[in-house]
C-alpha cells in the first residue's frame, strides 16, 4: 500500500525534514525540482514544449511557485530554451526569489501578472505546455485574487496543464464549487496528498505521477499512516490463498438474504460473487415469492426459504450478506435485527443499509463486525448529508459515520474510499466506467461477504468451538479493501475482454483474480 498524507501532515513533514537533516528549504526544493523535471521532461518533449513551443510556468508566491521556477531551471539545464515564467504577484519568498534570480541570469523571462496583464495573456496563448505552481498544501479556503485570475487565464487557453503536487485550489478542506485548476497531469511529490483522490476532485488531477526521492524514507515511515492508496499487489496480503489442504468449511460459509419480486437478479449476482471470492459454501435465503425464480438460476448456491426471526441456524455460517434487492418492509427490519443479534459478521448493502440506520437510531449496537457498502445516495440517506458533500470531503464524513454506526464503510464511487471505526482508511483509484452498470454493487457486496467469511473461518480454525470469536473489525476492513480491489480489477479485465459488459461477467473475472489464476492487474 502507498502511504498518503493530509496537506497539514505534508507541511509538517517539510518542516521536520529541514530540521532533522539540517538542510535549507532551498535544497529541499531543488531536490523536488529534479524529480519533477524527470517526470515532466518526456511530456514536455513530446509536446515540443521548450523548443518549437513555449514551456510556461505560472507561479504563486509560496513553495509551489518556487518549485515551478526551480523546474524551469532544470529544463534550461537540460537544453530547452523556449521557457518563460509568470508570477501571480510580487513579494516572492526568499527561496522563490533565489530561483527567479537564477532564471533571469540564464536569460529566462519572468513576467508579473499584476503589472503586465496583456503581455502575460499573449504569452499564455502561445504556450505548448503550462506548469501550474500557483498554490499548494498551504492553501486555506478557496483560490482567490491574482492566483485565481491567472489560473482562469491558463485554463481558458485550453493549453494542457501539469500541476505541481496538487492542482491549484485543492486542499484538505476543498469544497465542491471551489475554483480548481483542471490538470492533465499532476506531479505528486511522495507521500501523495490524500485529497488528490477526493472523488469530486479526482477528474481535475488528470494522470497522477508520483515523484519520489524528495524525503528520507525513514522520515516518511515514522509518520502515522492515516490513509493508504491501494495497489493491485496488495491483494496478495489482503486476500491470501487458503492452504492446499483447505476444504469448503475452511474457506468460509455465507448466508445471503437478498432479493424480492422484481429484484431477484440482485440476489443471484450477490450469491455467485460470494463463491467467486473463494467462500466454500453459500446459501441464498429467499422470500417465497422469488424462491421458484432464483432456484433454477443457482447451481452451486443452495436456495432456501427465508426463515422467521429466531429460526435461523447461525452456527452453520461464518458471515451474513444482507440487503441487495431486499426491500425495506417492517418485516425485513425485524429480520435484520434478529440476524445481527446472532453475533455473525455481516455485510449490509442497499436496502439493509437504510434499515440499519433505523436500528442504530433506536440504540442498537452490533456485537460483531458490520461492513456497509453504500453508493453516494445511500450514504447521504444514512447520514443526512448531501452526496456532493461526502464526494468532496470523504475522510472526515466517512470517519464520523464509521464511528457513529460502529461499522466499516466502503463508499462506492469512481474512486472508492474505505474507512474503519478503528481509524484506518484506504482508497482505490478505480475510475472504471464499465463498472457503472446495474448489479455491479451487488457483486461487490458478495465479494466482500465471501472474503469476510474466509477470514472468519480462518480465525476460528485456530481455537476450540466454544472460544471462537469470529471475525474482527480489522478483518472486515481487510475484506472490504480486497473486495474493492478485486472488483475494480475484474471490471478492467471484463471491459478489455468484452467491451461493455453485464454485471454477470464480474464474479467469474474476480474469481480468476482472487484465485491466483491470472496476473492481478
What is the model's pTM?
0.94
pLDDT at 226: 77
pLDDT at 381: 96
pLDDT at 459: 66
Q: ω before 191 within 30° of 0 (cis)?
A: yes
pLDDT at 217: 80
Residue ranges, comma separated, of all CATH 3.40.1190.20 domains in the chain are 233-237+249-514
Full DSSP string of 420-460: -TTS-EEEE----GGG-STTHHHHHHHHHHHHHHHHHHHHH
pLDDT at 520: 41
Q: What cell numbers appear for 363 in the block?
A: 440504540
Cβ proximity of 134 and 155 under 8 Å: no
CATH fold, domain 233-237+249-514, is: 3.40.1190
Residue ranges, comma separated, of all CATH 3.40.50.10260 domains in the chain are 2-227
Q: Give 10-residue mean pLDDT values along the chain (521 residues).
A: 93 92 91 97 97 96 94 97 92 88 96 95 97 94 95 98 98 94 98 97 98 81 73 96 91 97 97 98 97 96 93 95 97 96 97 97 94 97 95 95 97 97 96 97 98 87 53 96 98 97 98 78 45
3 state DSSP class of 248: coil
pLDDT at 209: 98
pLDDT at 441: 98
CA distance 488 to 467: 36
Query: What is the phi-psi region of residue 317: left when phi exceeds 0, alpha when psi lies from -120 to 50, beta otherwise?
Result: beta
| Domain 2-227 class in CATH | alpha beta
Amino acid at each position: 500500500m502507498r502511504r498518503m498524507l493530509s496537506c497539514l501532515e505534508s507541511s509538517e513533514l517539510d518542516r521536520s525534514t529541514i530540521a532533522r537533516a539540517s538542510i535549507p528549504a532551498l535544497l529541499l526544493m531543488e531536490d523536488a525540482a529534479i524529480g519533477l523535471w524527470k517526470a515532466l521532461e518526456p511530456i514536455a518533449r513530446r509536446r515540443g514544449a521548450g523548443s518549437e513551443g513555449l514551456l510556461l510556468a505560472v507561479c504563486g508566491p509560496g513553495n509551489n511557485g518556487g518549485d515551478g521556477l526551480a523546474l524551469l531551471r532544470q529544463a534550461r539545464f537540460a537544453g530547452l530554451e523556449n521557457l518563460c515564467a509568470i508570477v501571480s504577484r510580487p513579494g516572492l519568498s526568499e527561496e522563490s526569489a533565489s530561483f527567479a534570480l537564477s532564471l533571469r541570469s540564464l536569460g529566462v523571462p519572468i513576467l508579473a501578472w499584476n503589472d503586465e496583464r496583456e503581455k502575460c495573456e499573449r504569452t499564455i496563448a502561445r504556450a505548448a505546455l503550462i506548469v501550474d505552481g500557483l498554490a499548494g498544501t498551504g492553501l486555506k479556503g478557496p483560490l482567490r485574487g491574482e492566483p485565481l485570475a491567472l489560473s482562469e487565464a491558463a485554463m481558458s487557453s485550453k493549453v494542457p496543464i501539469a500541476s505541481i503536487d496538487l492542482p491549484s485550489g485543492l486542499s484538505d478542506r476543498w469544497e465542491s464549487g471551489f475554483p480548481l485548476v483542471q490538470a492533465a497531469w499532476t506531479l505528486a511529490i511522495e507521500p501523495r496528498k490524500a485529497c488528490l483522490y477526493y472523488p469530486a476532485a479526482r477528474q481535475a488531477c488528470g494522470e497522477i505521477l508520483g515523484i519520489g526521492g524528495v524525503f528520507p524514507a525513514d522520515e516518511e515511515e515514522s509518520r502515522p499512516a492515516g490513509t493508504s492508496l491501494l495497489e493491485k499487489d496488495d491483494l496478495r496480503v489482503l486476500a491470501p490463498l487458503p492452504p492446499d489442504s483447505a476444504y469448503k468449511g475452511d474457506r468460509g460459509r455465507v448466508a445471503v438474504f437478498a432479493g424480492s419480486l422484481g429484484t431477484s437478479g440482485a440476489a443471484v449476482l450477490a450469491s455467485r460473487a460470494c463463491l467467486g471470492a473463494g467462500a466454500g459454501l453459500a446459501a441464498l435465503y429467499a422470500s417465497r415469492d422469488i424462491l421458484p425464480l432464483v432456484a433454477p438460476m443457482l447451481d452451486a448456491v443452495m436456495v432456501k426459504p427465508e426463515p422467521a426471526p429466531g429460526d435461523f441456524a447461525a452456527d452453520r455460517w461464518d458471515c451474513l450478506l444482507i440487503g441487495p434487492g431486499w426491500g425495506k418492509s417492517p418485516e425485513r427490519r425485524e429480520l435484520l435485527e434478529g440476524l445481527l443479534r446472532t453475533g455473525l459478521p455481516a455485510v449490509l448493502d442497499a436496502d439493509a443499509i437504510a434499515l440499519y440506520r433505523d436500528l442504530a437510531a433506536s440504540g442498537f449496537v452490533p456485537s460483531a463486525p458490520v461492513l456497509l457498502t453504500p453508493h453516494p445516495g445511500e450514504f447521504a440517506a444514512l447520514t443526512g448529508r448531501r452526496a456532493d458533500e461526502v464526494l468532496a470531503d470523504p475522510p472526515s464524513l466517512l470517519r464520523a459515520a464509521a464511528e457513529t454506526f460502529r461499522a466499516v464503510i466502503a463508499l462506492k464511487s469512481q474512486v472508492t474510499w474505505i474507512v474503519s471505526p478503528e481509524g484506518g482508511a484506504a482508497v482505490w483509484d478505480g475510475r472504471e466506467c464499465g463498472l457503472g452498470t446495474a448489479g455491479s454493487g451487488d457483486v461487490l457486496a458478495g465479494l466482500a461477504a465471501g472474503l469476510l467469511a474466509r477470514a472468519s473461518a480462518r480465525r476460528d480454525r485456530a481455537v476450540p468451538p466454544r472460544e471462537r470469536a469470529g471475525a474482527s473489525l480489522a478483518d472486515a476492513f481487510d475484506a472490504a479493501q480486497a473486495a474493492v480491489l478485486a472488483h475494480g480489477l475484474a471490471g478492467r479485465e471484463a471491459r478489455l475482454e468484452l467491451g461493455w459488459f453485464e454485471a454477470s461477467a464480474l464474479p467469474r473475472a474476480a474469481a480468476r483474480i482472487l484465485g491466483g489464476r491470472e496476473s492481478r492487474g
